Chains A and B, each alone.
Chain A
Amino acid sequence: MCGTCGCGNGENGVSIHNPKDLKTNEHGHHHHDEPAHEHTHDGHTHTHSHDHAHAHEHDHQHAHHQKKVIEVEQDILHHNDVMAARNRGYFEAKNIFALNLVSSPGSGKTSLLERTLKDLKTEIPFFVIEGDQQTMNDANRIAAIDIPVIQINTGKGCHLESDAIFDAVKRLNITDNTVLMIENVGNLVCPSMFDLGESKRVVIISTTEGEDKPIKYPDMFHTSDLCIINKIDLLPYVHIDVEKLKQHALKVNPKLQFIELSATTGEGMNTWYDWLKKQKN
């Protein structure tokens, strides 16, 4: 169900908003299936897709109650993977470097973005997609820095999926040779299974989360390319062995790279900027 207007078809109920468009009260609904139709009521537009549009009318004259076995052999996340591949092709063609930022709630994804965008926006053109279950808060924080941003609210959904990214990207009008930052829903489990078509996946963990997170939630570390250890300004106050944290993560993913920084004080941010600039080319 859509949190904004209460309409929906009982699926995950994803809605996509541009902070700048909000006054017009227009929002697109994103659901898994085409075909979609639009209708207008009370001055705002809805796009619904019909998911369960299988025919209910049958001709009961002829016998069709024979059993039939279909060897399907299809990946359950096939649809997500196909759309992710489509996104990836689009990003590659337009030379867009897309990052999928994942972490537990509150590890500092938005703070890291805010500082990065402020520091680099004159050098690199950025676009941002924010994923949260509810609210425009994170998109508003990004819009305040004058960076084009789209908020995806996933409703009950605990992760972003590639088709919502596809829709959000279309609405962002991303230009060529740019960097797209996708902040996933704060959740260290679910987003790991859903490829968005990103160029690289970045997992952020903060020093307050404990050194055994990588083995408690191995999937996310297994699928990431870079691990940012944030909030190092808090190291004097928390008992965490950063080396042990890295060892745990390396057991899960021996190829993982690490950058330690503080989005608050700015310490270590230059290493991250160097990584970003190097990867982007």
Chain B
Amino acid sequence: MHELSVALGIVKIAEDETAKAGAEKVELIELEIGTLAGVDFESLEFVWPAAVKDTVLEFALKKISVLKGKAKCVDCDTVFEIQHLYDSCPECGSNFKGIIQGKELRVKALEVV
């Protein structure tokens, strides 16, 4: 379950940033995760308590903005929503596309005290 690595990555960023700001703990953490990022939201919830225990994130509120997948067709430039990496262009049927949104896996902001 790589969601544990993801959670530990979040903890590392939060620890570093909190220390840099000279703060003590995080009250709110805002995450941005795309639907194509390869993260299973349920698994992330499952590993979260263990990952944040005894860290600055232990009592933090977590807010996740989910970004929907979006792609641009290489052949006809159509921009379309994608649920899966294998979705083809709804206009011309091409499989060649650039993903323009949905791969995000990012800590957006922290509210520290």
Neighbour of B38 across the interface among A66, A214, A219, A253, CB < 8 A: A219
Task: Give the distance in Å from the alpha carbon of A33 to the alpha carbon of B8 in the complex.
Answer: 11
What residues on B are CB-neighbors of A253 within 8 Å? 85
Beta-carbon contact of B85 and A252 below 8 Å: yes
Determine if A262 is an interface residue (Cβ-Cβ < 8 Å): no
Beta-carbon contact of B105 and A75 below 8 Å: yes
Chain B 67-99, CB-CB to A under 8 Å as 1, else 0, gives: 000000000000000001110100000011000
Beta-carbon contact of B9 and A78 below 8 Å: yes
Number of interface residues of B (CB under 8 A): 40
Beta-carbon contact of A159 and B2 below 8 Å: yes
Beta-carbon contact of B109 and A71 below 8 Å: yes
Beta-carbon contact of B2 and A158 below 8 Å: yes
Neighbour of A254 across the interface among B9, B13, B37, B95, CB < 8 A: B95
Beta-carbon contact of B21 and A70 below 8 Å: yes
What residues on B are CB-neighbors of A159 within 8 Å? 2, 5
Task: Give the distance in Å from the alpha carbon of A76 to the alpha carbon of B15 in the complex.
Answer: 13
What residues on A are CB-neighbors of B4 within 8 Å? 12, 156-157
What residues on A are CB-neighbors of B37 within 8 Å? 193
Chain B 100-113, CB-CB to A under 8 Å as 1, else 0, gives: 00000111111111
Beta-carbon contact of B6 and A54 below 8 Å: no
Task: Give the distance in Å from the alpha carbon of A158 to the alpha carbon of B40 in the complex.
Answer: 15
Determine if A259 is an interface residue (Cβ-Cβ < 8 Å): no
Task: Give the distance in Å from the alpha carbon of A77 to the alpha carbon of B9 in the complex.
Answer: 6
- The chain B residue sitting closest to A80, CB to CB, is B9
Chain B 5-30, CB-CB to A under 8 Å as 1, else 0, gives: 11011101101011101111001000
Beta-carbon contact of A12 and B112 below 8 Å: no
Beta-carbon contact of A72 and B86 below 8 Å: no
Task: Give the distance in Å from the alpha carbon of A161 to the alpha carbon of B106 in the complex.
Answer: 18
What residues on A are CB-neighbors of B42 within 8 Å? none
Neighbour of A64 across the interface among B23, B55, B105, CB < 8 A: B23
What residues on B are CB-neighbors of A250 within 8 Å? 95
Known: A67-B27, A219-B85. A189 touches B2 (CB 8 A): yes
Beta-carbon contact of A72 and B108 below 8 Å: yes
Determine if A69 is an interface residue (Cβ-Cβ < 8 Å): yes
Task: Give the distance in Å from the alpha carbon of A218 to the alpha carbon of B96 in the complex.
Answer: 15
Determine if A222 is an interface residue (Cβ-Cβ < 8 Å): yes
Neighbour of A70 across the interface among B105, B106, B109, CB < 8 A: B109
Beta-carbon contact of B105 and A215 below 8 Å: no
Beta-carbon contact of A190 and B17 below 8 Å: no
Task: Give the distance in Å from the alpha carbon of A73 to the alpha carbon of B30 in the complex.
Answer: 10
Q: Considering residues B2, B24, B96, B108, which has the most beta carbons from chain A within 10 angstroms of its beta carbon?
A: B2
Neighbour of B13 across the interface among A33, A78, A158, A252, CB < 8 A: A78
Chain A residues in the interface with B (C-beta under 8 A): 11-12, 32-33, 51-52, 54-55, 58, 64-80, 156-159, 161, 189-190, 192-194, 214-215, 218-219, 222, 248, 250-254
A32-B8, A67-B112, A71-B108 known; 8 new pairs, CB 8 Å cut-off, are A12-B4, A33-B12, A54-B19, A64-B24, A79-B12, A190-B2, A251-B95, A253-B85
List 23 interface pairs A-B (beta carbons < 8 Å), by A numbering.
A12-B8, A32-B12, A52-B15, A54-B15, A67-B111, A67-B112, A68-B21, A68-B112, A69-B110, A69-B111, A69-B112, A70-B21, A72-B17, A74-B13, A75-B106, A76-B105, A159-B2, A159-B5, A190-B1, A214-B86, A222-B85, A248-B86, A252-B86
